[in-house]
Structure 1
Amino acid sequence: MRADPQVARFAVLQDAAEALLDELAERYMVDRRESKESLGAADALVRLERLMPRTPAAAPLAIAFTETPGIALRLGRWWVETLPGCSCAVCDEDPVQLVELLRLQAAALVEGGLWERVRRGVGGSWYESRLIGVGINARREGPLTREDSREARRSGFAAPVQWAPWPARPLKETSGPEEG
């Protein structure tokens, strides 16, 4: 079975995500973990790569490699970006622009530009996220289940949380001439 060329053009997203994960793992003090997980109850297992900063004050980054081919980017606790949002010819998303969005969002995260909190209201609780960085200033919110809301408050999200910048790896020292 041949891949649909309209959909296959998004394979560049997965290549860019792989390169981004490699760059971030080399540049920052993070642990890299790979697993197979389902993105939803009825979804198939997909490869998921996580970068966990070695300080709990910095937010994790995760990338799921979907069958589209595409990716699902998760920053911190609630920020999720599915790229492409739609792979049909009518929507005609530009893979180059999607790669740029992936890099913009990751850069804002590692610089400490993600802010998250839980808000309580009469109708229930919801999350609120903001991502601010060079070239991006975006906001998201959505409902939380009672269980998710309780767990989030126990984890310190009752007050706004601004995630810290990722810790950079120390520069490699260059050795001088050998003494002898």
Structure 2
Amino acid sequence: MRAYPHAVDTSRFAVLHDAAESMLDDLHERYMVERRESKELLGAEEALVRMVRLIPRTPAAGPLAIAFTDFPGLVVRLGRWWAEMLPACGCEACDEDPAELVGVLRGQVAALIEGGLWERVRRGVGGSWFETRLIGVELSARREGPLTSRDARDARRCGFAAPVQWAPWPFRPLGV
């Protein structure tokens, strides 16, 4: 995630890192998930970033991955295809409010945890597409995009030929 050339005060987005870190710690304590941390490339021309994944102990529940960029910002992935860049731009003209972006992060992650993410692959004349829907409290969004033939085959092998409604995350038993 590169800084937009007109981004002046990027430090205002550091609050996103703090909010994500706190949220990840809380989710790891409350739910039966495995936490994995690594350094990964976001793209061919990007630097290594810290990536934290929370993977529910039940395969029916959708995973969460958050990349912490140097901007500072976040790349949030829910399930297989839902991806959100926070901030989307970061320039002064767009004037994205960090507090609102924290709300977006929390709302989208809450929808995933509650079982509000639906995904599928569909075939068309021009190739295969992914389709996602995320439904939560005061949230109803839909996205779609093209898939390479390799990604489409892999997705169908993993059960995405039919719509997949990710299950709610399982709570951690008290005292564990």
TM-score by length of 2: 0.94
AA aligned to 2:67 is A
Shift, 1:135, TM fit: 1.5
Shift, 1:171, TM fit: 2.1
Is contact 2:30–2:172 with CA below 8 Å preserved after alignment?
yes
Shift, 1:5, TM fit: 6.1
Of 37, 43, 46, which aligns to 1:43?
A: 46
User: In structure 1, what is the equivalent of residue 76 of structure 2?
Assistant: 73
In structure 1, stretches of 5+ residues that fail to align are: 174-180
Q: Deviations over 1:60-110 (max 9, x none)?
A: 000000111000000000000000001110001000000000000000000
User: In structure 2, what is the equivalent of residue 145 of structure 1?
Assistant: 148
User: In structure 1, what is the equivalent of residue 158 of structure 2?
Assistant: 155
Q: Mapping of 1:1-180 within 5 angstroms?
A: 6-172=9-175
Partners of 1:8 and 1:151 in 2: CA distance: 39
Q: What value does the CA root-mean-square deviation take over the aligned residues?
A: 1.1
Is contact 2:8–2:91 with CA below 8 Å preserved after alignment?
no
In structure 2, stretches of 5+ residues that fail to align are: 1-6
Larger radius of gyration: 1
Against the structure 1 CA distance between its residues 5 and 89, is the aligned structure 2 distance closer, same or farther, given a 3 Å change threshold?
Answer: closer
AA aligned to 1:120 is R
Partners of 1:133 and 1:172 in 2: CA distance: 29
Q: Deviations over 1:95-134 (max 9, x none)?
A: 0000000000000000000000001000000100000011
The sequence identity of aligned pairs, in percent, is 71
Partners of 1:115 and 1:74 in 2: CA distance: 14
Q: Secondary structure at the match of 1:77?
A: coil
TM-score by length of 1: 0.92
